[in-house]
């Protein structure tokens, strides 16, 4: 895989360099609520621009249905990128149409443009190779060189991720190089004990990574909505908590395998419950009750791990050599149910281990809850991509960057 440093050494001055970034940021209307993914691509864009490239940045945002939708415009992301770069960033109002063509043609050496949301064109995400390829052909007319730096999308077989690199000389940007290097530390060069903390809503989203990590991890800590399927599998009442009953056989199998292999599987010992889901918009006061994990009332819902579980999980991280965390421990968006996620984040900071926050809601929680990002070993920009890598899957966007 060619690195961006190798590309820069060859010279990019005057060349149109297409940077597939991940600017898929959360928006409140047109206001960006977390710009972490934009900041992550700045080093690559700046290095190219400083070397005299004419940089064309492209990304998806949200899930528009293959047609323009103002709610998913990349215009706010383009403006924020310009602020972070300290320079004007041109914006094309389409992907491969007249505006994109004219905007790219108008770039001078060292200038940067962002084209509109790639998913406004159905060819970007098409399952049909020919339709996807046709869109990639049109994107290729905008550039001389391709740089892949959208780690959050490398697990997608999309036109700008998989097909376009085959049509242009290509290299990996700084972000992708960093992400892959970190993931190799979680798979090939693990410092033990290796502790994995998994949360989030659905156990089905994590089954693949649990299956793979049972062969590698020393301890697996479970929280979030997915914990209640594990508790139910052990015969406990979970009330109206999130539950995937169809996943109970798989959960039981994993618990058995963990026991056989000597992997410590740690579940909550207490939880915060309420009969009402909190109002995440107004953050109206909530008054949860703490109960033992095996004593959840039938008419209440578990919404966070309890204080004893927080202490337990912190103790399981304290002596770790490596920690990977993906998924919040509760409904962290509401102050009443944020303490479990805060406790896990703080445990990572307090541990001497190499710590990795696996993107998605975990990365958002770190920022929203006010932690210093620089104190963690690494905060990934791609939750889904990280999980699939750890499952042992080949990621199309990385395969496409191989020479």
User: Which residues carry out catalysis?
Assistant: 37, 202, 360, 384
Q: Which stretches of 149-292 are assigned E, i.e. beta strand?
A: 170-172, 194-198, 219-222, 264-266, 270-274, 289-292
Spatial distance between the Cα atoms of 90 and 381, rounded to a whole number of angstroms: 24
Dihedral sign for Cα atoms in the order 15, 16, 22, 24: positive
Under 8 Å between Cβ of 264 and 192: no
Contact 183, 393 (CB under 8 A): no
d(CA 184, CA 61): 28
Coil vs helix vs strand at 6: helix
Whether the CB-CB separation of 172 and 149 falls below 8 Å is answered with yes
User: Which residue matches tokens 């409140």?
Assistant: 28
Q: CA 55 to CA 66: how far, in whole Å?
A: 25
d(CA 226, CA 322): 23
Cα distance between residue 33 and residue 29, in whole Å = 10
User: Which residues 6+ apart lie within 8 Å of 82 measured at CB?
Assistant: 88, 89, 112
């Amino acid at each position: 895989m060619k690195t961006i440093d190798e590309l820069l050494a060859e010279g990019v001055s005057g060349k149109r360099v297409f940077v597939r970034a991940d600017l898929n940021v959360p928006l409140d209307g047109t206001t960006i609520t977390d710009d972490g993914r934009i900041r992550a691509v700045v080093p690559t864009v700046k290095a190219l621009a400083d070397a005299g490239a004419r940089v064309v940045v492209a990304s998806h945002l949200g899930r528009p249905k293959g047609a323009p939708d103002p709610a998913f415009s990349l215009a706010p992301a383009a403006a924020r990128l310009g602020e972070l770069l300290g320079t004007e960033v041109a914006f094309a109002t389409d992907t491969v149409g007249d505006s994109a063509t004219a905007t790219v043609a108008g770039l001078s050496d060292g200038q940067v443009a962002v084209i509109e949301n790639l998913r406004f064109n159905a060819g970007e995400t098409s399952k049909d190779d020919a339709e996807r390829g046709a869109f990639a052909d049109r994107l290729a007319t905008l550039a001389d060189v391709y740089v892949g730096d959208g780690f959050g999308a490398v697990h997608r077989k999309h036109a700008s991720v998989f097909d376009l690199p085959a049509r242009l000389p290509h290299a990996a940007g700084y972000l992708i190089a960093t992400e892959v290097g970190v993931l190799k530390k979680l798979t090939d060069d693990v410092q033990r004990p290796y502790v994995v903390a998994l949360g989030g809503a659905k156990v089905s989203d994590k089954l693949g990574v649990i299956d793979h990590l049972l062969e590698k991890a020393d301890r697996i800590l479970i929280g979030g909505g997915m914990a209640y399927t594990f508790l139910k599998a052990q015969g406990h009442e979970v009330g109206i908590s999130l539950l995937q009953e169809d996943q109970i056989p798989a959960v039981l199998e994993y618990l058995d395998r963990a026991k056989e292999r000597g992997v410590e599987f740690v579940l909550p010992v207490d939880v915060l419950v309420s009969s009402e889901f909190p109002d995440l918009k107004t953050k109206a006061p909530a008054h949860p009750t703490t109960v033992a994990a095996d004593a959840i009332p039938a008419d209440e819902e578990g919404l966070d791990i309890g204080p004893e579980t927080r202490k337990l999980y912190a103790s399981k991280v304290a002596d770790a050599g490596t920690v990977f965390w993906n998924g919040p421990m509760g409904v962290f968006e509401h102050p009443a149910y944020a303490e479990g996620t805060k406790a896990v984040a703080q445990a990572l900071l307090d541990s001497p281990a190499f710590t990795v926050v696996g993107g998605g809601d975990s990365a958002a929680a770190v920022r929203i809850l006010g932690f210093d990002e620089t104190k963690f070993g690494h905060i990934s920009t791609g939750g889904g991509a990280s999980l699939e890598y750890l499952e042992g899957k080949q990621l199309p966007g990385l395969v496409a960057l191989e020479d």
